[in-house]
C-alpha cells in the first residue's frame, strides 16, 4: 500500500520524520521541507501543507459577534492568554506585570486544567476586565474575539492563531522541539519573542498605543495561515488510494 507521512513538528523536525521510502511526506512549513532535503528526501516527494487543524477553527465569526456571544466588552483591545491544556508557563507573572503597567486592555485567561491557578486568579482584583476560563472547548471563538495572543510556543496554538489573525507574543518554549517555532514566528514578523514579563509588557504597550504596528503583525499572521491543511492532507491520502485526483490538489509549496 502507499505510505504517507504527515510531519507535525512545525520547524524543529526530528531527522526520523524523513523516511525517504515514503510515497509522500507532508510538511507544515518550507523550513521543514528544507530540513527534509538536507536529510536526503527527494524534494518531489514533499508537499508544504501546514499543520492539521480542527475544522472548527476554519469558520471564523466576525470579532464583534464573537465578543457578544462570549459576553466580552466591545470597546477594549482584548488579550488572550493561553498556557496550553495544562495551563503551563508563567501565566500569572505576565498577567500581574500587565496589570501593574495599567495597559488599557481586557484580558481573557485560559487556565486549562490548572484549577488552582483558575481559583487564585478569580480571587484577585485587577484594574482592567479579566475573564478567567478553565478548560474550554470553544477556543476558536475566544481567538476570534481577541486582538492579541500571549502564549507558549506550541505549534498547534500558533497555527490556530494564524488562522484567527492573531499577532503573537511568545513567552516560553520547550527546548529543542519548540525553538524553531519561535524563530518562524519572529522571522515572518507574525509575533515576537518576549521571555520575561517586562518584554511582554513593552510589546503589548506598543501594540495598544500603535494600532498600525499591531495590524502589521496581524496581516503577517494571516499570511501564514493554512486553513485548508486538514482537507489537503485528507485529499492527498485519498489520492494515494485512487479515490481523489491528485492533480487537482493545490499545495502551499
**In whole angstroms, what is the distance from residue 131 CA to residue 116 CA?**
16
Lowest mean pLDDT among 21-30, 78-87, 158-167: 78-87
**In whole angstroms, what is the distance from residue 235 CA to residue 237 CA?**
5
Over the stretch 28-47, which tens digit does the pLDDT of each residue have?
999 999 999 999 999 999 99
What cell was used for 1?
A: 500500500
Q: Say what the pLDDT of residue 84 is.
A: 65
Average pLDDT, the chain: 94
Q: Say what the pLDDT of residue 83 is.
A: 80
**In whole angstroms, what is the distance from residue 77 CA to residue 19 CA?**
46
* Residue 26 near residue 236, CB atoms below 8 Å: yes
Q: What is the DSSP letter of 60?
A: P
Over the stretch 110-149, which tens digit does the pLDDT of each residue have?
999 899 999 999 999 998 899 999 999 999 999 999 999 9
Please report, for the chain, how many H helices and E strands are present, in that order: 10, 9
Give the end-to-end CA distance of the chain in Å, rounded to a whole number: 25
Q: State mean pLDDT over 43-67.
A: 95
Confidence of residue 87 (pLDDT cuts 50, 70, 90): low
Among residues 165, 198, 193, 169, which one has the least CA distance to residue 179?
193
**In whole angstroms, what is the distance from residue 100 CA to residue 150 CA?**
17
Q: Say what the pLDDT of residue 88 is.
A: 60
* Residue 181 near residue 84, CB atoms below 8 Å: no
Confidence of residue 176 (pLDDT cuts 50, 70, 90): confident
**In whole angstroms, what is the distance from residue 170 CA to residue 185 CA?**
9
Over the stretch 180-239, which tens digit does the pLDDT of each residue have?
999 999 999 999 999 999 999 999 999 999 999 999 999 999 999 999 999 999 999 999
Whether 86 has a pLDDT exceeding 90, the answer reads no
Give pTM, 2 decimals: 0.93
- Edge to edge, what strands does the sheet with 24-27 contain? 4-6, 24-27, 46-48
**In whole angstroms, what is the distance from residue 49 CA to residue 231 CA?**
10
Burial class (CB in 10 A: 0-12, 13-18, 19+), 213: middle
Amino acid at each position: 500500500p502507499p505510505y504517507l507521512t504527515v510531519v507535525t513538528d512545525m520547524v524543529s523536525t526530528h531527522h526520523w520524520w524523513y523516511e525517504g521510502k515514503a510515497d509522500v511526506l507532508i510538511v507544515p512549513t518550507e523550513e521543514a521541507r528544507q530540513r527534509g532535503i538536507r536529510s536526503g528526501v527527494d524534494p518531489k516527494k514533499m508537499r508544504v501543507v501546514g499543520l492539521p487543524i480542527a475544522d472548527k477553527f476554519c469558520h471564523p465569526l466576525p470579532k464583534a459577534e464573537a465578543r457578544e456571544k462570549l459576553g466580552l466588552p466591545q470597546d477594549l483591545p482584548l488579550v488572550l492568554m493561553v498556557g496550553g491544556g495544562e495551563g503551563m508557563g508563567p501565566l500569572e507573572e505576565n498577567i500581574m506585570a500587565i496589570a501593574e503597567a495599567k495597559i488599557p486592555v481586557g484580558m481573557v485567561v485560559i487556565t486549562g486544567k490548572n484549577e488552582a491557578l483558575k481559583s487564585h486568579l478569580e480571587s484577585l482584583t485587577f484594574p482592567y476586565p479579566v475573564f478567567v476560563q478553565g478548560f474550554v472547548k470553544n477556543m476558536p471563538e475566544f481567538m476570534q474575539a481577541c486582538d492579541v495572543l500571549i502564549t507558549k510556543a506550541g505549534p498547534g496554538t500558533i497555527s490556530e492563531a494564524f488562522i484567527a489573525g492573531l499577532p503573537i507574543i511568545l513567552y516560553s518554549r520547550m527546548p529543542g522541539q519548540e525553538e524553531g517555532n519561535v524563530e518562524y514566528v519572529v522571522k515572518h514578523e507574525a509575533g515576537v519573542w518576549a521571555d520575561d514579563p517586562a518584554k511582554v509588557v513593552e510589546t503589548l504597550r506598543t501594540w495598544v498605543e500603535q494600532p498600525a504596528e499591531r495590524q502589521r503583525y496581524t496581516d503577517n499572521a494571516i499570511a501564514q495561515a493554512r486553513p485548508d491543511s486538514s482537507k489537503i492532507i485528507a485529499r492527498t491520502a485519498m489520492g494515494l488510494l485512487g479515490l481523489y485526483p491528485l492533480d487537482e490538489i493545490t499545495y502551499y509549496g
